[in-house]
Structure 1
């Protein structure tokens, strides 16, 4: 096996495939990256039984072949290689990397012990890559981190006709994002819902964001995402998220609007005096044209700031949230204004884009493209 490749291409391919490497593994070969040189290309693959990543880049191949090398060691080497062409070769049991007079030698791992990388699932449809990456980022913040409750660590994708709905919840918050997609084959006839690990899906979506279109494949155990010359296959989680229809019914809610970036900055500022697990309180008032007082802390250790805000449906309203959850929710939106529908202390509050941030859905019916539900804490500061 022998090939030549530009340093930037090798570094990109190794860095991308290394995303699938496990942090720790009792199986040494899973810490390896599989390099396969063929006619005019180099394929780099990583696999850890939950995620498989594969990328192709241009290369001048002298001798075709495969080699399995320690992925993170190769990644470290790629980071320090001088610019210019890189020559790589398999010499017995050693893999050599040479560029600009610098030469590295790497021991190889037993190729025969490396598990078979899963084939991509059958194509199910396509979605705009940039929009998909944005949507996954908006809902993934609401996914849980507790691995003892795996269902709550996932993002659920539901595909129906020309609409994809992404959702995630850790029981204290629930984020939903809708966007258009183009189904193919059986996808055009039936709805399907799949649950995928949030961290893995977020990583895959971000890495494919510049691919133009992400092609989505599905089978009984996995979902595949492919764009340009990159492909990721992610193992599905068992189960489904609880429905959000009743939760998002905010009949009788008081509605407020506030500048989004100003609210996020203010919450971060006043929260520095809040003790662990202490809430940040928002007091909305319609008096004097409308405002919201954001405050945190107890006793002498307090902070407060007032912002302009509008309020409809009442003369005043108060809610309190975990400050980290609130900042995550506010920052997941993109528009200049934020809309809050509030049922009161200790109850639900639904965040969405305010002003002209509403988007259209399928069939011409208006809908909120992105919504984020937060539970207001019962004890106000």
Structure 2
């Protein structure tokens, strides 16, 4: 195998591929990236056995072939090479070492056989559809903050992507919850997605997927089966196993009878929560919302460290209410709201609050109260 590649293309390819490689693993081949020449150029493939990423890039191929080399080492070398360099990768068939040459720099790297590299088996995908990057980015960005970190409830360690009946018709829906807060985001159902099985996309896959969604002009090809999900652009293919579990019936925790309505500037609210939470203890981080006519007082009382209070002008015309929430949860939800106003719907001080983005019904958040 021998080919030449622009340094910028090499950096992009190796950094994308090696991001799925686990820093610590007991199988040496999993620390490597598989480099293969193809009719279209060169592909860089990496996997942790649950997630696989393949990056295809242009290169001047002189001799076809394939090998595997340390992903982190090749990434470090590529980043440290001078800008604009043309990098030549040459596999010596006798020694099995990979030479990396750029200008006066010359590296000789150990390799492992291509045959030892585990390639994720291809499977039939009953559902195949295309969605704009901006749509998928909204679905996952607005829901991923609520993914649970609790390993015992592994079925909550991802985003539940499925087809649902939204308020504006059939929708592609993403839901995440950790039992304390919940995010439910809808988008119009793409053609071909109606028969898609509901799948729980793991946290790591959601993080890797975000890197594919920066270019709004790029359509993302999505393929879904009962056990795998695949997201692909013309240059990158991300394949992942889905979490083998049943996502809970989240509709039961979304309150339907909350009638006390608070409307507040989302940016002002997020900043006020952040300010008053400064004095709260890290363990509880509880903030109290005291509501009266067109008036909201945010307060924190932490006996060990101090107290804080801030008043905000709001639109509120119901009975006075005092209710407490985890400040971090409130701040994170407020940070998701793109529209100017956040709408809170309350029932009582012991009941979950429903939060929406203005009049938009396609983004719904739920947060459980705390005693204050």
Which position in structure 2 is the counterpart of 1:67?
67
Please, what TM-score do these two structures have when normalized by structure 1? Answer: 0.90
Which position in structure 2 is the counterpart of 1:279?
286
2:258–2:354: 8 Å Cα contact kept in structure 1? no
Q: How has the CA–CA distance of structure 1 residues 109 and 191 changed in structure 2, closer, same or farther, with 3 Å as cutoff?
A: closer
Q: How far did residue 277 of structure 1 move?
A: 1.5
Q: Which moved more, 1:154-163 or 1:229-238?
A: 154-163
For residue 369 of structure 1, the aligned residue among 349, 362, 366 is 362
Q: How far did residue 194 of structure 1 move?
A: 0.9
Q: Which runs of 4+ in 1 moved over 6 A?
A: none
Determine helix, strand or coil for the equivalent of 1:182: coil
Asked if 1:88 corresponds to 2:89, the answer is yes
Which position in structure 2 is the counterpart of 1:270?
276
Distance 2:277 2:268 in 1: 14
Which position in structure 2 is the counterpart of 1:25?
25
Which position in structure 2 is the counterpart of 1:305?
310
Determine helix, strand or coil for the equivalent of 1:245: helix
For residue 254 of structure 2, the aligned residue among 235, 248, 254 is 248
Cα shift readout 1:135-159 (whole Å, capped 9, x = no counterpart): 1011111110122221011111112
Asked if 1:115 corresponds to 2:118, the answer is yes
Cα shift readout 1:27-72 (whole Å, capped 9, x = no counterpart): 1101110011234511000111110000101000001111100111
Which position in structure 1 is the counterpart of 2:133?
129
Q: How far did residue 252 of structure 1 move?
A: 4.1
Q: How far did residue 249 of structure 1 move?
A: 3.1
Determine helix, strand or coil for the equivalent of 1:141: helix
Which position in structure 2 is the counterpart of 1:234?
240
Aligned length: 361
Q: How has the CA–CA distance of structure 1 residues 206 and 335 changed in structure 2, closer, same or farther, with 3 Å as cutoff?
A: farther
Distance 1:43 1:345 in 2: 56
Distance 1:205 1:226 in 2: 12
Distance 2:45 2:258 in 1: 53
Asked if 1:143 corresponds to 2:143, the answer is no
Q: How has the CA–CA distance of structure 1 residues 225 and 79 changed in structure 2, closer, same or farther, with 3 Å as cutoff?
A: same
Distance 1:3 1:34 in 2: 15
Distance 1:346 1:182 in 2: 39
Q: Output the aligned Cα RMSD.
A: 1.8
Distance 1:323 1:262 in 2: 14
Distance 1:148 1:74 in 2: 36
Please, what TM-score do these two structures have when normalized by structure 2? Answer: 0.92
Which position in structure 2 is the counterpart of 1:209?
214
1:156–1:240: 8 Å Cα contact kept in structure 2? no
Q: Which runs of 5+ in 1 are unaligned?
A: 359-367
